[in-house]
Amino acid sequence: MVNITRAADLALVGANGGGWVAPVGSTAPADPRNQPTSPWEPLGAISDDGLKYGFDEDSQEFTPWGLTSPFRTQITKSVRTFGLTVWETSRVAVQSLQYRLTATDLEPDETGLTKYAETASPVPDRRAFWFLVIDGDAYKGFYVPQGEINDRSDVTFKQDEMSGYEWTITTYPDDSGNTVYHVDKIPVTPAYSGS
C-alpha cells in the first residue's frame, strides 16, 4: 500500500488579491507582502470572479515517415494573459486603461466635469502590471513589465448588477525576452520521503 502525503497548506485558493498598473519601465515590487507604492496605482475592487492567468499555446508536431507518433514537438506560439473585471470604474487609473487615455486627459474642468472622447483609431497602450493572489500566509505575485488590454467586454448598466470593466491583458516580452515575473511567498514544501 502506498502512503500518499497531502498538505492542505500547499494548495492555493484565490481568497483575496489585487491589481496595480504603472508606466512601462516601472520597477517591479520586490515583496508581495508589501503594498506597491508610486508610480503604481491600484485598480481597486475586483469582481468575485477573481484573477484568471491564461496560457495560449500552439505547437507543431513532426512525425517521421513510417511512424504514427511524433518524435518532436515545436512550440510555435506561447502567450500569457490575465483576465479580470474591475468594479471601481470611476478610478482615474481604471478609466485611463479602459479608454486608452492619460491621467491628465481625465482631469475635471473648472466646473467639475470630466470630458473626453473615444477615438476611432486607438493606438497601442502598453503598461506595466502587478497582480497579487493571497491565501492566508501564501502570496503569489505576478509582474508584467509590458502588458496591454486587448479585449474589453461590454459594460452593462443595470439596477441589480454591478457595472464593471472586464479585461483580458496580453503580456509582451521585455528586453530580456520575459513576459511574466513571479514573486511568491509560499509555505516550504516538505522533502519527499518516498521509497
Please provide the DSSP assignment of 3-69 as one string: -----GGGS----EEEEEEE-TTPPPPS-TTS---TT-EE---B-TT--EEEEEEEEEEE--TT-SS
**Could you read off the pLDDT of 7-19 as tens digits, one per residue?**
777 778 888 999 9
Q: Is the predicted pLDDT of residue 187 greater than 80, yes or no?
A: no
pLDDT of residue 163: 94
Q: How far is CA 162 from CA 17, 85, 89, 156, in A?
A: 19, 10, 10, 8
pLDDT of residue 192: 56
CA neighbor of 187 nearest in space, from 124, 135, 113: 135
**Could you read off the pLDDT of 57-104 as tens digits, one per residue?**
888 999 999 989 988 999 888 899 999 999 999 999 999 999 999 999
Alpha-carbon distance 28 to 129, whole Å? Answer: 9
**Could you read off the pLDDT of 37-53 as tens digits, one per residue?**
999 999 999 999 999 99
What is the percent of the chain where pLDDT is above 90? 73
Q: Is the predicted pLDDT of residue 1 greater than 70, yes or no?
A: no
What is the percent of the chain where pLDDT is above 70? 93
Return phi, psi of residue 12, to 5°.
-110, 130
**Could you read off the pLDDT of 156-184 as tens digits, one per residue?**
999 999 999 999 999 999 999 999 999 99
Its pTM surpasses 0.85: yes
The torsion defined by the Cα of 42, 11, 57 and 148, in degrees rounded to 10, comes to 0
CB 39 within 8 A of CB 22: yes
